[in-house]
Structure 1
């Protein structure tokens, strides 16, 4: 169960940081005991998903216009 809690905590931290609502205490907690790479990987996946969804949305709007 701890495995999924850790992954969920990383996901929550990445999403909060992407939208600029990450608190300083949460930021310090994340990087005091965790390694850096899980956050980088999760951040890259989030950015790729975000860009792909924007491309899909823009293409669907342009095609219907």
Structure 2
């Protein structure tokens, strides 16, 4: 299913998994090869920007919640 020699482009979930793994520095060589061979760079850039925005907003919300609960 995740064979890098497969000629199908990666699915949305495979690309999201790759973006998240790359963000945390744990991307496997097999997935990296699949992404570079069959994926479109623009899709990964868009997903990367969206992931970064959601991650940043999540951290911001957690900090605001902790400060609110701490009474600050």
Selected match of 2:34 from 24, 29, 37: 29
Q: Tell me the equivalent position of 2:16.
A: 11
Number of matched pairs: 62
SS of residue matched to 2:11: helix
Over aligned residues, Cα RMSD in angstroms?
1.6
2:50 to 45, 50, 54: 45
> Which is higher, the Rg of structure 1 or of structure 2?
2
Structure 1 CA distance, aligned partners of 2:40 and 2:25? 21
Question: What TM-score does the superposition give when structure 1 sets the normalisation length?
Answer: 0.84
TM-score between the two structures when normalised by the length of structure 2? 0.77
CA distance in 2, matches of 1:61, 1:39: 32
